[in-house]
Copies of this chain bind each other. A is one copy, B any other.
């Protein structure tokens, strides 16, 4: 254990970078519930998934036992272009808040996709290329995942077809242009290009879209196009596996200075960032080696953990995907226009859902205007203009640090700063102009969506 001064930013050396992804499921006694065939309600087999997903990724998806997957050399090379990401000691924020808490954040925004999404995008593109595919299809909410996948596909010379949630497409005109720079094609969803898109548009003509709709369109496009598969930026086990680089790097950096966090906080849409950040820490907790508090932060407008139910549900609005057991609001829940586009998903990672269900993790929901207050405060104090999604974690990190001020406790707080908000300035503008509302679904609304959950014994 080193005892020297902790720098503002801790960068690992290349030698210290993770060489393998960590599979949290291997240390879970109660494994996440398996994906089910929507027709037979039997666990999905690898061969059933092969029409939708890439082979190498299916193996990772279904493997609940292997603790470490070596990271292929080509991916390690790409990681070295933009990783390690810095672990930042938020000295300025601590001082401004006057808190005795010690605050750290793992900042994943220093790459052109602007977020952590690139960690899984490059892995998924690699396995698609390895399988000899022509290209991949996907959906994107805030646009970060689509940008990340465009970059990854460009690197491996794969075709990339992105369905972008319509409200994000309209709020973020420049995101499309970044994806185009990397050679991707981008379609606002729901679209008239797919059967499921046409159906959703017929039923909800004015819809601003949702991740659930866009997933359905991307899956349909993949299964009906020769040499294409579908890839997804969150929710799935494989994505949490790839994102474990966030937590592994953060843990090594903290270990180098003998620091142990008390509270670990991440925003949660589908769960990719949170699952990746907490992975090695949760592993220690599951193995009984250490204890940590974990807090998932979700928007009050789309509160899967805090107001959803733990049940089997469709992953997409069009019901073309397998059933997953997760905390869900119902697959046809379409949140009100919410500027944190990346957190608009109706469900939550099965792995995180099981951990939450077992009481190993907490969850809170926060209102959008409170989130933007925290975002602006953080931008001014720490110099990084955060993505609205990331600012959910900032909000709760600040709240916890203020509690420490009140109690005098010197807790160590680690949170995930998933990305930057440079393409979210329309949302910031509304906030500045006082035109931002807090959308909170009523109990009646949620009950109505819940009543449509599939019946699984």
Contacts and interface: CB of A to CB of B under 8 A. Distances in A.
Interface of A: 5, 7-9, 11, 13-14, 77-78, 80-82, 92, 110-112, 114, 151, 154-155, 173-174, 177-178, 180-183, 376, 379-380, 382-385, 420, 422-423, 425-426, 428-429, 432
A112 B81 contact: no
A385 B432 contact: no
A380 B154 contact: yes
Contacts of A111: 383-384
A381 to B, nearest CB: 8
A422 B422 contact: yes
Most chain B C-beta atoms within 10 Å of own C-beta, residue among A5, A114, A180, A376: A180
Given A177-B432, A376-B181, A7 B382 contact: no
A380 B182 contact: yes
A14 B422 CA distance: 28
A112 B383 contact: yes
A176 to B, nearest CB: 8
Nearest to A82: B383
Give 3 closest A-B pairs by Cβ, nearest first.
A174-B425, A177-B425, A8-B80
A426 B180 CA distance: 12
A174 B77 CA distance: 34
* Interface residue SS majority, chain A: helix
Contacts of A81: 8, 92, 382-383
A180 B14 contact: no
B110 A151 contact: no
A425 B178 contact: yes
Copy tally for this chain in the complex stands at 2
Nearest to A112: B385
Contacts of A183: 380
Given A81-B383, A151-B383, A428 B112 contact: no
B432 A181 contact: yes
A203 B80 CA distance: 54
15 contacts: A8-B81, A77-B92, A111-B384, A112-B385, A151-B380, A151-B383, A174-B426, A177-B429, A177-B432, A178-B422, A178-B428, A181-B376, A181-B428, A183-B380, A422-B423
Most chain B C-beta atoms within 10 Å of own C-beta, residue among A92, A155, A383: A383
A180 B385 CA distance: 12
A37 to B, nearest CB: 39
Nearest to A9: B80
B181 A379 contact: yes
A385 B178 contact: yes
Contact of A422 (B78, B174, B429): B174
Contacts of A178: 385, 422, 425, 428
Nearest to A424: B174
Given A178-B385, A178-B428, 20 more contacts: A5-B14, A11-B11, A78-B383, A81-B92, A81-B383, A111-B383, A112-B383, A114-B422, A154-B380, A155-B380, A155-B383, A174-B422, A174-B426, A178-B422, A181-B385, A181-B428, A181-B432, A182-B379, A182-B380, A422-B422
A183 B385 CA distance: 13
Given A8-B80, A14-B8, A420-B112, A177 B428 contact: yes
A427 B142 CA distance: 22
Contacts of A180: 428-429, 432
A174 B181 CA distance: 19
